[in-house]
Amino acid sequence: MPTAVAGPEIERLIQLLARLPGLGPRSARRAALFLIKRREHVMEPLAAALAAAATAIRPCSACGNLDTADPCAICRDPERDATASTPSSVCS
């Protein structure tokens, strides 16, 4: 990747976006610039959603499914077969 041509905050955003699957350095740079240009309509709501997800979402202790409650909505379902709640029964 070429030397930094933007401020450290922009370069950090690009580096973090480049870690996402399917985003290389050029796509990450385009995504970062898109977010910055649409700060109020896209970037700020996305940042808030990421922060909320980081604090609220956790794996279910019964099956490993990701949810905001433990046990998860699937395990709490009264019609669910309780014998199927093993960590290997959930796709990762």
Whole-prediction pTM = 0.69
Tell me the average pLDDT of the chain: 88
Per-residue pLDDT at 92 exceeds 70 = no
Task: Find the mean pLDDT for residues 64-91.
Answer: 79
For 23-36, give the secondary structure using H, E and C. Answer: CCHHHHHHHHHHHH
Q: Report which of residues 4 and 51 the model is more confident about.
A: 51
Per-residue pLDDT at 90 exceeds 70 = no
- HSE at residue 75, side-chain half, CA atoms within 13 A, is 20
Per-residue pLDDT at 2 exceeds 70 = no
